[in-house]
């Protein structure tokens, strides 16, 4: 990180390689549109490159990058006229294991499809908190930093998200 802060492009590329996949997952699940995700990530990386020299380290680099991504996602959502239709085929095609039992593969794909739909129905802040906790394994404190909220608010967002998801997915229990 020190080298990247001094303008070393290779060091910055290494940071992006390390954190990029998690940022992509996060932005993708919040936006639901691959073209928008690529735009958001490009803008996030530009923001990171420009802001890295001033990065004080009050939060971890990972948390800071998620915060930059959240800000870019919010800007993108404000510009977007309407929500795109749900498309679970992209997720399902990556799950196929040629040696797996087709029935289990289909059940897994159906469950992931149902989870995907349920997640997309959550309010953005709840979905964001759930993704950061359950998918990216951030602590409550890190999520609070990313969302610019208190840990108490984060706990409430996660509780509401989990309750809604449990209700939406009750047939899968």
Burial 69-80 (b: 16+ CB within 10 A, else e): bbbbbeebeeee
- Whether 58 shows a pLDDT value over 80: the answer reads yes
> What is the chain's length?
173
Would residue 6 count as lying in a domain?
Answer: yes
Residue 42 sits in which domain range?
A: 1-84
Q: How many domains does the chain have?
A: 1
More confident residue, 102 or 114: 114
pLDDT for 118-155, tens place per residue? 898 999 999 999 999 999 999 999 999 999 999 999 99
Please name the residues in contact with 162: beta carbons below 8 A apart, sequence gap of 6 or more.
130
More confident residue, 173 or 118: 118
Predicted confidence band at 103 (pLDDT cuts at 50, 70, 90)? low
Average pLDDT over residues 103-109: 62
Average pLDDT over residues 37-44: 94
The CA-based angle 97-135-4, given to 5 degrees, is 105
| 3-class state of residue 1 by DSSP | coil
pLDDT of residue 111: 74
Single pTM value for the model: 0.73
- Whether 88 shows a pLDDT value over 50: the answer reads no
CATH number of the domain to which 77 belongs: 1.10.1740.10
What does pLDDT average to over the chain? 85
Would residue 31 count as lying in a domain?
Answer: yes
Percent of the chain topping pLDDT 90 = 58
pLDDT of residue 78: 85
Would residue 78 count as lying in a domain?
Answer: yes
Would residue 98 count as lying in a domain?
Answer: no
Please name the residues in contact with 105: beta carbons below 8 A apart, sequence gap of 6 or more.
95, 96, 97
CA dist 143 and 141 (Å) reads: 5
Predicted confidence band at 82 (pLDDT cuts at 50, 70, 90)? low
Would residue 166 count as lying in a domain?
Answer: no
CA dist 77 and 140 (Å) reads: 24
pLDDT of residue 163: 94
Would residue 9 count as lying in a domain?
Answer: yes
pLDDT of residue 158: 96
Predicted confidence band at 75 (pLDDT cuts at 50, 70, 90)? very high
């Amino acid at each position: 990180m020190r080298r990247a802060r001094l303008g070393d492009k290779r060091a910055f590329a290494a940071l992006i390689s390390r954190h990029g996949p998690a940022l992509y997952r996060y932005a993708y699940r919040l936006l639901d549109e691959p073209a928008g995700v690529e735009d958001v990530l490009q803008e996030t990386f530009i923001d990171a490159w420009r802001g890295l020299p001033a990065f004080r380290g009050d939060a971890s680099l990972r948390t800071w990058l998620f915060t930059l991504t959240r800000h870019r996602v919010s800007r993108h959502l404000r510009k977007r006229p309407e929500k795109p239709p749900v498309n679970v085929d992209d997720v399902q095609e990556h799950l196929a294991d040629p040696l797996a039992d087709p029935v289990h593969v289909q059940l897994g794909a159906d469950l992931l499809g149902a989870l995907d739909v349920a997640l997309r129905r959550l309010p953005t802040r709840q979905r964001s908190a759930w993704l950061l906790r359950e998918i990216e394994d951030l602590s409550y404190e890190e999520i609070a930093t990313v969302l610019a909220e208190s840990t108490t608010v984060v706990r409430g967002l996660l509780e509401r998200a989990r309750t809604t998801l449990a209700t939406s997915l009750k047939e899968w229990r």
